[in-house]
């Protein structure tokens, strides 16, 4: 396993070391070490993606945090969400589309620029606090968010964002973005009006549509009474105004 700033890995970790970590978490003295910043090339383009490699102890604690958060939130995520979830991936998303898609006239596509680097720490904790009452647990997550990172042997504070490469970053990102999923689902329901054959229309629309039909019939009768020469003249006048 890739070592963090302390140069240690979890290979051959002792029970005594685990007990020390456990005790420090119980008395809330545990303080995560800053992550080691590395960069990997993105799949497209020449840009690189920053990774935060945690210390060995940090990896263990983050895995515990991930398991707890997953047990709390996994069942409440949208059924249409497939990223960073157990037994879900791009292939399950494609399978769901194949089995449920019935056609659409338009799509909404979006991309959150520097998504992991943009999360607001205070907003994330406020979202977690809706379902988690254990302030000690929330404080532990806060410590990880504020642990900072080392780059070129220089310490950098983290004011926002979740480090990619952290064990609990994917579940924290899903918790954060689940708020967006719920908002978009509610927005979608405002436009869901049934099938095209049973679509509800407003009173104003029905009124305008009825008036349009009446005007079409009226001017159709008037047009029938106009001579061929007059029709050509009107058509020429209309063309000249374009």
104 falls within a domain: yes
178 and 218 fall within a common domain:
no
5 falls within a domain: no
45 and 106 fall within a common domain:
yes
127 and 229 fall within a common domain:
no
| DSSP secondary structure string for all residues of the chain | ----TT---STT--HHHHHHHHHHHHTT---PPPEEEEEEE-SSSS-EEEEEE--HHHHHHHHHHHHHHHHHHGGGS-TT--TT-TT--HHHHHHHHHHH----S-------TTHHHH--HHHHHHHHHTT---HHHHHHHHHHHT--EEETTEEE--SS---TT-TTHHHHHHHHHHHHHHHHHHHHHHH----GGG----HHHHHHHHHHHHHHHHHHHHHHTS-HHHHHHHHHHHHHH-
124 and 228 fall within a common domain:
no
176 and 228 fall within a common domain:
no
7 falls within a domain: no
As for how many domains the chain has, the answer is: 2
231 and 157 fall within a common domain:
no
117 falls within a domain: yes
- Containing structural domain, residue 113: 15-191
217 and 180 fall within a common domain:
no
232 falls within a domain: yes
The model's pTM is 0.73
8 falls within a domain: no
Q: What is the pLDDT along the chain (242 residues), one digit of tens a residue?
A: 677 777 777 777 888 989 999 999 999 999 999 999 988 888 777 888 888 888 889 999 999 999 999 999 999 998 889 988 889 999 999 999 899 988 877 787 888 888 888 899 999 999 999 999 999 999 999 999 999 999 988 999 999 898 888 889 999 999 999 998 999 888 878 777 655 555 555 666 677 777 777 766 766 666 566 666 665 665 555 444 44
75 and 163 fall within a common domain:
yes
211 and 133 fall within a common domain:
no
134 and 217 fall within a common domain:
no
1 falls within a domain: no
217 and 103 fall within a common domain:
no
43 falls within a domain: yes
216 and 184 fall within a common domain:
no
């Amino acid at each position: 396993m890739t070592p963090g700033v302390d140069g240690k890995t979890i290979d051959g970790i002792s029970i005594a070391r685990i007990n020390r970590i456990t005790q420090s978490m119980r008395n809330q003295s545990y303080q995560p070490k800053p992550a080691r910043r590395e960069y990997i090339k993105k799949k497209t383009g020449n840009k690189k993606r920053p990774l935060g490699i945690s210390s060995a102890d940090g990896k263990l604690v983050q895995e515990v945090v991930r398991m707890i958060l997953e047990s709390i939130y996994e069942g409440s995520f949208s059924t249409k969400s497939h990223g960073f979830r157990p037994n879900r991936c791009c292939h399950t998303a494609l399978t769901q589309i194949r089995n449920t898609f019935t056609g659409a006239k338009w799509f909404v596509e979006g991309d959150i620029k520097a998504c992991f680097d943009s999360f607001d720490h205070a907003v994330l904790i406020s979202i977690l606090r809706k379902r988690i009452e254990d302030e000690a647990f929330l404080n532990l997550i806060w410590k990880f968010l504020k642990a900072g990172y080392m780059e070129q042997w220089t310490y950098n504070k983290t004011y926002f964002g979740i480090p990619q490469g952290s064990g609990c970053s994917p579940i924290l990102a899903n918790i954060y973005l689940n708020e967006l999923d719920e908002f978009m689902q509610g927005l979608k329901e405002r436009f869901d009006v049934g099938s095209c054959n049973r679509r509800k229309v407003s009173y104003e629309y029905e009124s305008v549509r009825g008036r349009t039909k009446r005007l079409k019939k009226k001017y159709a009768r008037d047009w029938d009474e106009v001579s061929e020469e007059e029709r050509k003249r009107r058509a020429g006048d209309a063309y000249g105004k374009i």
